[in-house]
Chain A
Amino acid sequence: MSTQPGFNTVFGSLVQYTKGTIELVTGKKSHYAFSNIFEVAAQSAPYEKVVVGLNLGYVIEAIRAEGTSPWFTCAHDEFVIAVDGIVRVDFLKLDAATAQGDGTQLAGELPKGRPMGYVLLKRGHQALLPAGCAYRFEASTPCVLLQQTVQGSLSIEKWADICLK
Chain B
Amino acid sequence: MAMLEAVETESALIFDTLVDASAAHPVTGYKAFNLGSFKLSRDEYFARIEWPAKGEQRSHLIPADAFLRAVMRDVAWGFFYGWVNFDHVVGTRNLYGKVDMYAGTFNGVLKAAGVDYTEQFETPQIMATFKAILRDWTNAGFDPFAAPSETGTAFGRKSGDNIEAIERFRVATRRMPGLKGDSPLRDDLPVNRHFADVAQDEPEVHASEGFEGQLHAFSLFKYLSRSDVSWNPSVTSVCGTSLFCPTTEEFILPIVHGNDRIEWFLQLSDEIVWDIGDKDDGNPRARITMRAGDICAMPADIRHQGYSTKRSMLLVWENATPNLPQRYESGELKPYPVEF
Contacts and interface: CB of A to CB of B under 8 A. Distances in A.
A6 B14 CA distance: 46
Nearest to A6: B196
B1 interface: no
Contact of A36 (B241, B295, B310): B295
A7 B197 contact: yes
B310 A128 contact: no
Interface in A35-51: 35-39
A77 B239 contact: yes
A58 B297 CA distance: 13
Contacts of A76: 239-240
A22 B288 CA distance: 5
Contact of B239 (A8, A27, A150): A150
Given A25-B284, A33-B297, A38-B293, A128 B242 contact: no
Contacts of A79: 176, 237, 239, 244
A120 B203 contact: yes
A17 B288 CA distance: 17
B285 A26 contact: yes
B161 interface: no
A9 B194 contact: yes
B6 interface: no
A138 B264 CA distance: 29
Interface string A121-165: 111111110100000000000000010111000000101100100
B271 A10 contact: yes
Contact of B218 (A8, A53, A56, A126): A126
A11 B267 CA distance: 9
A66 interface: no
Interface string A93-110: 100000000000000000
B37 interface: no
B76 interface: no
Contacts of A12: 291-293
Residue with the greatest number of chain A CB neighbours at <10 A, chosen from B210, B270, B294, B321: B294
Given A26-B285, A122-B203, 7 more contacts: A12-B293, A17-B293, A31-B299, A56-B321, A81-B220, A116-B208, A118-B215
State the 7 A-B residue pairs at the shortest beta-carbon distance, nearest first.
Answer: A124-B221, A12-B293, A12-B292, A31-B336, A58-B242, A159-B340, A127-B217
22 contacts: A6-B196, A12-B291, A12-B293, A26-B284, A30-B339, A30-B340, A32-B336, A34-B295, A34-B297, A36-B295, A56-B321, A60-B317, A83-B268, A83-B293, A122-B201, A125-B203, A125-B217, A125-B218, A126-B218, A126-B219, A128-B215, A157-B338
